Chains A and B, each alone.
Chain A
């Protein structure tokens, strides 16, 4: 143990500001295992799901045959687990502060809680984008491998594949930010994560199946449509296989999801974020 002295910290430029908060949140995310574990889930789950779907292509109740545009689309753009994981990542970034009682230290370091929420949303978007990129790269590789191994040629253009990739990254980024906001509103990590899976896999599918015209406006569905996922190729539930409704245009879907994140953040800033930290 050293002598009990209190040296003055070396003077340096104390640059304050939002960028410092974002860097702090990135360091917090990357200094625990959870973020890496969620990325590993994406990298593990996506090829398993895509392989199962590709092996069922052309069979009864399976995706369309792999030599068709529809079949290749369903395989490459259909398994969007990475986008669900992006929301979960966002939820854990914000609700984790309350699960582990770290909110006290966070707010002592940065007393302006709205800026903390904004910084977390940025980091949620970055983490979500990473999930989206990992998921798309994996799905594309598996889809191309199955297509080639079955002796078919790729019938989807490189431009479309790039658009899907961009859409997957942008959609997952927006969902990551929405996840941060959801975690700030709910605070209970377990409830929020259960809510994410319930909403994306069950409720949206149920609502989409019952009210077809509402489907393009369901947040998770809108995000997956950005990634090229055709409406009706939901992973589970009543919305699977239902078609005939056009998705939102790319820009409209981005604006819509950004608006959801913004409105949610404003509600959180006026309610839960202000609460006493006891």
Chain B
């Protein structure tokens, strides 16, 4: 199973330093929450990790290799970065057929992941008519299609109803229990507290804290209190 490793990552957009010397690890068999206020650099870090954004310095690897160097990336990493990233005129099934072709995944998996995501009844509907929650579910179905070892998810609970959030929690816990590596960014702290084993907290592009949730909350404070304390200290 693959470890995610971030070392000395730096990314600037003009005068703005979005990621500033960030380093952390995400180990297999765990669900790791990637937390931080808006603009903390979470999405930029995930996009660098996935080869979509070029870092100015540092490395971001999965199993010791950059994403672009993975021989079969979809079989190794499943990612959901934006729920809107589907062609509105394509059906959910057609979207998964494209993904299955790209990954050379067994096409019989399409019905499996549609069912897993609770979209079996909407498989032949155009994505343009989907709610945000349905798009999130389709994103997760797409990510799981090629049976990857690593899941990288950016705000996957956005738009999900309570039943969907519960489903997502079970999905991530089940994935990690099978030995998978999960990195999930979120700003829903109460939800994260119920789902993750470890957290990486960033603020203004810098690492604020990293480690098991149990350690972070050892003083009796909840994750939410610990988060606000840490990010408040970061702004001083």
Q: Which residues of A contact B (CB under 8 A)?
A: 1-2, 4-10, 12-16, 20, 23-24, 27-28, 31-34, 96, 100-102, 104-105, 107-112, 274, 276-278
Contacts and interface: CB of A to CB of B under 8 A. Distances in A.
B54 to A, nearest CB: 6
B81 A104 contact: yes
B89 interface: yes
A245 to B, nearest CB: 43
The residue in A31, A34, A274 that gathers the most chain B C-beta atoms within 10 A of its C-beta is: A31
Contact of B97 (A7, A31, A277): A31
B147 A277 contact: no
Interface string B76-118: 0101011011111111001101110111111011001001101
A28 B98 contact: yes
Given A5-B174, A276-B54, A109 B97 contact: no
B67 interface: yes
B147 A8 contact: yes
Contacts of A4: 116, 170-171, 174
B167 interface: yes
Contacts of B99: 105, 109
B52 interface: yes
Contact of B115 (A1, A9, A24): A1
Given A10-B106, A20-B101, A104-B85, A2 B112 contact: yes
B84 A101 contact: yes
B51 interface: yes
Nearest to A112: B68
Interface of B: 44, 47, 50-54, 67-68, 70-75, 77, 79, 81-82, 84-91, 94-95, 97-99, 101-106, 108-109, 112, 115-116, 118, 142, 144, 146-147, 167, 170-171, 174-175, 178, 180
A20 B85 CA distance: 21
A107 B73 CA distance: 10
Which 9 residue pairs are nearest across A and B when measured between Cβ atoms? Answer: A109-B102, A31-B94, A111-B68, A10-B106, A32-B89, A4-B174, A9-B147, A276-B53, A277-B52
Given A27-B98, A109-B102, A278 B53 contact: yes
23 contacts: A2-B112, A4-B171, A7-B109, A8-B147, A9-B146, A12-B104, A14-B75, A14-B104, A16-B71, A20-B102, A20-B104, A28-B90, A31-B94, A100-B86, A101-B82, A101-B85, A104-B85, A105-B85, A105-B86, A108-B79, A276-B52, A276-B54, A277-B53
A59 B146 CA distance: 65
Contacts of A105: 85-86, 99, 142
B87 A100 contact: yes
Contacts of B106: 9-10, 12
Q: Indicate the member of B88, B102, B105 with the most A CB atoms within 10 Å.
A: B102
Given A7-B147, A34-B89, A100-B87, A111 B53 contact: no
A15 B79 CA distance: 22
A119 to B, nearest CB: 11
B56 to A, nearest CB: 11
A32 B97 CA distance: 13
Nearest to A14: B104
A26 to B, nearest CB: 9
A32 B91 CA distance: 8
Nearest to A6: B178
B74 A109 contact: yes
B52 A1 contact: no
Contacts of A104: 52, 81-82, 85
Most buried by B among A34, A102, A110: A102
A105 B65 CA distance: 20
Nearest to A25: B98
Nearest to A33: B89
Nearest to B108: A10
Given A31-B97, A33-B89, A109-B102, 8 more contacts: A2-B116, A6-B175, A7-B147, A100-B85, A107-B51, A108-B73, A108-B79, A278-B53
